[in-house]
Amino acid sequence: MSEGLEIDLLEGVGPVTKQKLGNAGVYDIIDLASRGMSDISDMLGGDNEKASELINKARNYLIEKGLLTKEFIPASELYKFRLQIERISTGSKNLDNLLDGGIESGAVTELYGEFGSGKTQICCTLAVIAQLPKEQGGVNGGVIYLDTENTFRPERIAEIAKARGLDAEKLLEGITVAKAYNSSHQELILKELGKFIETAKVKLIVVDSVVSHYRADYLGRGTLAERQQRLNSFMHQLLRLAEIYNVAVVVTNQVQAAPDFFFGDPTRATGGHVVAHLTTYRIYLRKSSKMRIARMVDSPYHAEKEALFIINEKGVDDPPEERKK
Ligand SMILES: Nc1ncnc2c1ncn2[C@@H]1O[C@H](COP(=O)(O)OP(=O)(O)OP(=O)(O)O)[C@@H](O)[C@H]1O
Ligand SMILES: [Mg+2]
C-alpha cells in the first residue's frame, strides 16, 4: 500500500465503506481511483452513486497531490507534465525514433500485425530493457507480462539478456508472468494489478495478446456486441492504470493481412475498432523478407512514418547497415 494514500484520508469515508473496499482488496486511494465504477459499485452492494462519488473523490485527491492531471488544464501545464513522461527503449534506434524515444509511460501502446510480425519479440525486449537504468534505455522498473496465448518463453528473455551482456537471472526475476486462461480470468487479473504495481514497482505492463481470448470466447456474430463491450471495458481499465500509476502499457493484437491489403484498413479483424479508439499509440507491424517494418498509425502527434528493424538474438535490433552509422 502507498504511504500517505490510505483510503480513510478521503473525507466522508467511514469505517464500513473502508471495510467493504478492504474486503475486496482495495486499500488505498490510487487503487480506488484506477477502478471502474461497476467494480466499486459491486463492492458496495450495488450503490452506483456512492461508487462514482468515491472514485471522483479519489481522483481529486490525486490531482491535489500532483499525482494526476486535471480534466481542464492549461496547455503549458500539460506540456510540463508531458515532459516528465518516461520512455522505454525498444532496443532499436529506428523504432525508438519512430516513437520519439521509446514506449511512453502513462499511455497504452498497441502493437498490431499478422503472425510472426514481431509483436511478442518487441514485448520481450521491452521487458528486459524496462528494468535497466535510464542511461541504458530503461526506467528501472518491474514488469508484468500478461500472457494470454502461452507464448511467453523465459528462455527467450534469457537469450536477449545474455546477448546484451546483462544478468539474465536478475532480469527474469524482475518479470512477473500472469497467465490468463480465458477472457474472464484476464479481467480478474487486471483487477488485481493495482496492488502489484505498487509492491513490485512496476513500470511496464504487457498484455500479449489483448484480444485473443475475446475472439475465442465470443465466437459467432450474436455475441459480437457483448464482446466489444467487455473488451472496451478492459481497455478503459488499462488506460486508467497507465494514467494513474504512470506505467507504460503495451498490448498486442493479431490482425490478418488481407490479400488486397494496402494501407487502408488492416484492422478489420477482431477487437479492431474498440482497441483502436482506446489506445494512445498504435503501431502496425509487417514483415518484409528478413526485415520488419513498423508504422505509426493514428498518433495524436507523431507523423505517420515508418521504421525498419530486425529480430535477432538481442530481441529487437537495427538492421546491420544502420548500426554502423
Ligand atoms: N531467437 C530468435 N532469433 C532470431 N529471430 C527470432 C528469434 N525468435 C523469434 N524470432 C523471429 O521472430 C518471429 C516471431 O515473431 P513474434 O513471435 O514476435 O510474432 P508475433 O507478431 O507475436 O506473432 P503472433 O501473432 O503469432 O503471436 C519468428 O518468425 C522469427 O523470425
Ligand atoms: Mg505473439
Write the pLDDT tens digit of every residue in 169-205: 999 999 999 999 999 999 999 988 988 898 889 999 9
Atom of ligand 1 nearest to the CA of 111: 21
Q: What pLDDT shows up at residue 273?
A: 55
Q: What are phi and psi for residue 172, nearest 5 degrees?
A: -65, -35
3-class SS of residue 47? coil
Nearest CA to ligand 1 atom 19: 116
Give the ligand whose atoms come closest to the C-alpha of residue 253: 1
Kindly tell me the burial class for residue 249, based on how many C-beta atoms sit within 10 Å of its own C-beta (0-12, 13-18, 19 or more).
Answer: buried
Of all protein residues, the one whose alpha carbon is nearest to atom 17 of ligand 1 is: 120
Instruction: Measure the CA–CA gap between 274 and 316, rounded to whole angstroms.
Output: 28
Residue 238: what pLDDT? 92
**pLDDT of res. 263:** 43
| DSSP line for 63-89 | HHTTSS--SS--HHHHHHHHHT--EE-
How far is the C-alpha of 46 from the C-alpha of 138, rounded, in Å?
42
Q: How far apart are CA 50 and CA 40, in angstroms?
A: 9
**In this structure, are strands 291-297 and 142-147 parallel, antiparallel, or unpaired?**
unpaired
The answer, yes or no, to whether residue 168 has pLDDT greater than 80, is: yes
**pLDDT 10s digits, 272-298:** 555 655 668 889 999 988 899 999 886
Grid coordinates of 89: 527503449
Banded model confidence at residue 137, pLDDT cuts 50, 70, 90: very high
176 Cα: distance to centroid of ligand 1 (angstroms):
21
User: Cβ neighbours of residue 297 under 8 Å, at least 6 residues apart?
Assistant: 282, 283, 284, 304
Cell triple for 244: 494513474
Give the chain's radius of gyration (CA, Å): 20
Write the CB contacts of 179 (distance below 8 Å, at least 6 apart in sequence).
147, 148, 150, 152
CA of 93 to the centre of ligand 1 (A): 19
Residue 126, pLDDT above cutoff 70: yes
What's the mean pLDDT when you consider all of the chain? 87
How confident is residue 322, by pLDDT bands cut at 50, 70 and 90?
low
Domains and CATH numbers, the chain: 7-64 (1.10.150), 85-323 (3.40.50.300)
Please choose from 110, 291, 311, 312 the residue to mutate so as to test ligand 1's pocket, defined by most ligand atoms within 8 A of CB: 311
